[in-house]
């Protein structure tokens, strides 16, 4: 079973505030001591923190409850009770915090160290010291602490990457990722060898790099649940550029050489999932060209003409031999570099009270 978990639902409860108390100061040599009940401490908060050292939400699948400590009750001599301890949940960068009941987005944690106060602790109650007046010098009551917030939260991880690899099963996406980065995804000659998203850092030159994401392959009808469905397509929603990998027709398998049809089918699945995702800049690469036969040249030319009308570049490569991979990396880098300076900052919910 894979340890990659990208969505969990939690029950989160902030701490209740401590009760204020009724107390009196009765000491020798302290005439007219009066009311001295201390305030209750504030309850702890439930805090979600983005941490680049965390890569999955697996821990919260088996521990689906987050509960902060309650504040302590007040004490005599006007002493306040201690604040309850916060509970801090570390999540991967790219995690969205969603109110499961309303669907409202509470925070989008896209940078290391960003924090969301998902549930705020209750305030402590006032002790009777606060209620003394000239006409009521001996108040015999105090206020209880307020309950902490409680929410059912959905944590949804969307991987942060510059380039998203897209294609049908066995198109060669994993081979490409292993060729241009240090990532070592599973590679085999049967479909759906990639069962969970994979990330790799691609070094463009000594000073620049970009992150590439490989998701499980799509098939026709994926938006209706066929194959692995489209459950992992959300990981492409943050990418800057799509790299659409098309497998060249293999002559020994007598495959259908309708490359335009393959391209259109996958684009239709993409549009069915998200119009925004379908509008991202795209680079198309024909893989396994080392196996391409001369008789398949018309199919490739037809694809080339189709993409030219769409103003989409078509590159050629072989993941097995490395042919064309460097040219592909530079083509993708040009698109990434063009986009990096234009993306607006993503708003998030700051955490104002840190103890």
- The tens digit of pLDDT for each residue in 232-280 reads 677 777 888 999 998 887 655 445 568 898 888 888 878 887 788 888 8
In CATH terms, are 1-157 and 163-340 the same topology?
A: no
CATH number of the domain at 1-157, please? 2.70.210.12
- The tens digit of pLDDT for each residue in 180-225 reads 887 665 444 434 444 467 778 888 888 888 888 887 656 454 445 4
pTM: 0.69
pLDDT of residue 155: 95
How confident is the prediction for the chain on average, in pLDDT?
A: 82
pLDDT of residue 296: 64
pLDDT of residue 95: 92
Contacts of 345 (CB under 8 A, 6+ apart): none
Domain ranges in the chain are 1-157, 163-340
pLDDT of residue 222: 46
Fold of the CATH domain 163-340: Rossmann fold (3.40.50)
- The tens digit of pLDDT for each residue in 138-165 reads 899 999 999 999 999 999 988 778 898 8
């Amino acid at each position: 079973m894979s340890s990659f978990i990208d969505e969990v639902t939690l029950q989160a409860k902030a701490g209740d505030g401590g009760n204020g108390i009724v107390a009196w100061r009765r000491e020798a040599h302290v005439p007219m001591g009066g009311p001295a009940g201390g305030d209750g401490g504030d309850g702890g908060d439930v805090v979600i923190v983005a941490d680049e050292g965390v890569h999955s939400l697996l821990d919260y699948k088996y521990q689906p409850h987050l509960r902060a400590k309650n504040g302590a009750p007040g004490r005599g001599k006007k002493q306040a009770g201690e604040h309850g301890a916060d509970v801090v949940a570390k999540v991967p960068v790219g995690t969205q915090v969603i109110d499961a009941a309303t669907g409202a987005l509470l925070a989008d944690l896209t940078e290391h160290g960003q924090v969301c106060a998902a549930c705020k602790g209750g305030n402590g109650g006032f002790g009777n010291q606060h209620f003394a007046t000239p006409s009521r010098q001996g108040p015999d009551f105090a206020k209880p602490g307020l309950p902490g917030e409680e929410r059912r939260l959905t944590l949804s991880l969307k991987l942060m990457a510059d380039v998203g690899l897209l294609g049908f099963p066995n198109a060669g996406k994993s081979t490409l990722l292993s060729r241009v980065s240090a990532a070592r995804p599973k590679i085999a000659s049967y479909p759906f060898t990639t069962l969970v998203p994979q990330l790799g850092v691609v070094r463009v030159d000594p000073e620049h790099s970009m992150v590439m994401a490989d998701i499980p392959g799509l098939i026709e009808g994926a938006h209706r649940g066929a194959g692995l469905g489209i459950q992992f397509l959300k990981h492409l929603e943050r990418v800057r550029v799509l790299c659409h990998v098309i497998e060249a027709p293999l002559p020994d398998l007598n495959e259908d050489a309708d490359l335009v049809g393959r391209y259109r089918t996958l684009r239709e699945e993409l549009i069915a999932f998200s119009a925004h995702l379908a509008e991202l800049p795209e680079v198309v690469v024909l893989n396994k060209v080392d196996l391409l036969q001369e008789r398949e040249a018309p199919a490739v030319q037809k694809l080339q003409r189709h993409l030219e009308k769409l103003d989409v570049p078509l590159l050629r490569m072989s993941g097995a031999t490395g042919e064309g991979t460097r040219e592909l990396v530079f083509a993708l880098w040009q698109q990434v570099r063009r986009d990096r300076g234009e993306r607006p900052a993503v708003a998030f919910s700051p955490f104002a009270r840190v103890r």
